[in-house]
Amino acid sequence: MRLFVAIELPAEVRAALERIQQGVPGARWVPPENLHLTLRFIGEVGGGEFHDLMHALAEVTVPPFEVEVAGVGHFESRKVPTLLWAGVRPSPALKHLQAKVERAVRSVGLPPEPRKFLPHITVARLRDPDPLRVRNFLQRYSLFNGGTVPVAGFTLFSSHLSKEQAHHRPEVEYLFDEPVY
């Protein structure tokens, strides 16, 4: 089972993100229902690891907080843009939550995340993009404000890949003020 931990987005934030999904021909725009803020990509796990992870994540709790979705950016490989994202303003509370999720994942014997946590929401994946169109997108939406995301918990998702797009299914929702079991 392919897993990741993420914060789900309210409908108004998903709608704001959907409005900027334009202007880059050939981009594979993420469907609104798949937009999320990833705390930790886990990858493939077996049934026993899933069960252990499910219980370890139940121990993660922080006080509820909010994050702001703002700005846009991109990731690249060999100086070619591969992904467009909407940013998340720096938040000590979000960083603290992500660190606790990381510790929970590692506590069940899964390998540590090698990359530094850069909170973002993937809006498109790119293949052979026109650099001018990407630059125009980044300039046009540099002041993008997607709204506020209240964070009162997080979700463990499974991801099922297909040729068209990934399909994400919530497996367990963890709320900070309610027991999971």
> Known catalytic residues?
36, 120
Residues 83 and 124: beta-carbon distance below 8 Å: yes
